[in-house]
Structure 1
Amino acid sequence: MSLAETWDRFARERTPRRAVNARGQSTWLNWTQHPDHGPDEGVLGTPLPGLKVLELGSGNGDNLAHLATLGANCTGVDVAPRREAAARERWGHLPGLDFRTNEAIDYLTTESATFDVVLSIFGAVWFVDPDALLPVVRARMNEGGTLAFSHLPAGSQELKPGKAGMRHDHTPDEWTKLLHRHDFTDVHAEVIEPPAVHSAATMLIWATA
């Protein structure tokens, strides 16, 4: 089974995000897997209007759609064709928002565009060898831009066994060293505690290009 087929099968099992959150918002950014929990787009630390944003592993496009409503020009890349179709169906009416089906490294090495913000929320940064991915991400980022990503903490048992062998788990210290090695600076890494006992924490990391 190809990588695209594997993730397409995984996409079929996912429940679509609810239409409105607890605050009554129809779009929002969620770094964790828990609803109405964790920080918002303020992690990016910069006004979003006019910025070029790329999400690697954009899924159904929900997080990226929120940034588009704030004025960013957004591109989402996902290896699963089903994800692009779902994202276009739900968010295709928004301006400044585009979705592509592609593998992260292939996209970054064949496209010439550069970006001010690169996101990966439980996405490609977790599932692609960082020594292969981070250099090509850095090459497509404008100076002073922000790379931000989140995933389960290293050693978490929450991920389904079928995906456990695909992920690249690192501690905050290990991610900091990896990012510095690939010319990122001002690295911040934290573990966001879950909203309830026995639920999963989230590791959130952001750095400057």
Structure 2
Amino acid sequence: MSETGGPAWDVYSATKGHRRQTNSRGETTWFNWTQYADHGPGAELLCLKPGEAALDLGCGAGGNAAHLATLGVRVVGVDLSSGQLRKARDRWTDVPGMELHQGDALDQLAETYTSFHAVYSVFGAAWFCDPHLMLPAVHAGLRPGGVFAMSQRPPVEGCYGCQASYIPRGPDEDPAIVKRWDHEPDTWSALLKEYGFNDVTAVVLPAPEDDKRTMGTLLIRAVRGSE
């Protein structure tokens, strides 16, 4: 398995509520890259057209995938957590065009015959996979000119590479532990170019000015080069 901590993500799922019924604009589906509500860019970063195919690595409860499906995109979502996928199937049962799988993100990339127009990960599996495994797999799964985009928290200064995340289980149990990969934007840019991506951007979006939290969001986007 390429991702880490399958059972840990069911623990995480139990701590997460459902996505709001509507956002601040009154929309019932929307795309959100950051940890803040109604903040940052949307699905336009993926440059998808109706009928095209996208892969969501770590789709969680399916909110972003559902939004793309309402735009006519054929979306495949994969997640390790059965709890998160249960939420997705319960909430978006009437949304056509979504295909959900429980499993490892890199296994999904290796086993699919689909060539995707976009692959994305929002605080998802791409953060929790070794980029030296994940980036070539994503490159192979994308059509030439296809978009790869991912978001995650920026690294803590001086804490780069493989790090540990701790997911609380409760007062009487040790936390669940998963690995994540933290790099500075310049390092992500270099890695993406090394594995055949062009038009790379890696920036930290600042937190909303009216929020008490101050941590930004690392947003990475790149285009698969032609052979």
Equivalent-residue separation in structure 1 for 2:133 and 2:42 (angstroms): 29
Q: Which moved more, 1:147-156 or 1:167-176?
A: 147-156
Specify the alignment match of 1:184 in structure 2. 197
Q: Decide which of 206, 210, 220 is 1:193's aligned counterpart.
A: 206
Report the alpha carbon displacement of residue 67 of structure 1 after superposing the two structures with TM: 0.7
Specify the alignment match of 1:116 in structure 2. 117
Percent pairwise identity: 40
Report the alpha carbon displacement of residue 72 of structure 1 after superposing the two structures with TM: 0.4
Structure-2-length-normalised TM-score: 0.86
Root mean square deviation, CA, Å:
1.9
Report the alpha carbon displacement of residue 93 of structure 1 after superposing the two structures with TM: 1.4
**Count of aligned pairs between the two proteins:** 206
SS in 2 for 1:162: strand
Specify the alignment match of 2:39 in structure 1. 37
Structure 2: which 5+ residue stretches go unaligned?
168-176
Specify the alignment match of 2:49 in structure 1. 48
Structure-1-length-normalised TM-score: 0.93
Equivalent-residue separation in structure 1 for 2:12 and 2:215 (angstroms): 20
Check conservation: 1:153, 1:202, Cα contact below 8 A.
yes
Check conservation: 2:7, 2:81, Cα contact below 8 A.
yes
Check conservation: 1:53, 1:74, Cα contact below 8 A.
yes
Specify the alignment match of 2:101 in structure 1. 100
Report the alpha carbon displacement of residue 77 of structure 1 after superposing the two structures with TM: 0.4
Report the alpha carbon displacement of residue 107 of structure 1 after superposing the two structures with TM: 1.1
Check conservation: 1:58, 1:77, Cα contact below 8 A.
yes
Check conservation: 1:119, 1:147, Cα contact below 8 A.
yes
Task: Decide which structure has greater strand share.
Answer: 2
**Is 1:205 the counterpart of 2:210 in the alignment?**
no
Check conservation: 1:30, 1:39, Cα contact below 8 A.
yes
Report the alpha carbon displacement of residue 79 of structure 1 after superposing the two structures with TM: 0.8
**Is 1:162 the counterpart of 2:177 in the alignment?**
no
Equivalent-residue separation in structure 2 for 1:131 and 1:47 (angstroms): 26
Report the alpha carbon displacement of residue 199 of structure 1 after superposing the two structures with TM: 3.1
Report the alpha carbon displacement of residue 125 of structure 1 after superposing the two structures with TM: 1.1
Q: Which moved more, 1:164-173 or 1:70-79?
A: 164-173
Check conservation: 1:56, 1:124, Cα contact below 8 A.
yes
Check conservation: 2:165, 2:180, Cα contact below 8 A.
no
Equivalent-residue separation in structure 1 for 2:83 and 2:32 (angstroms): 21
Counterpart AA for 1:29 = F
1:62-77 → structure 2 map (5 Å cutoff)? 62-77=63-78
Deviations 1:145-164 (A, max 9, x none): 0001000001189x995058
Check conservation: 2:18, 2:87, Cα contact below 8 A.
no
Counterpart AA for 2:26 = G
Deviations 1:158-188 (A, max 9, x none): x995058611001110000110111111101
Equivalent-residue separation in structure 1 for 2:181 and 2:195 (angstroms): 16
Specify the alignment match of 1:171 in structure 2. 184
Equivalent-residue separation in structure 2 for 1:11 and 1:137 (angstroms): 25
Which one has the largest radius of gyration? 2
Structure 1: which 5+ residue stretches go unaligned?
none
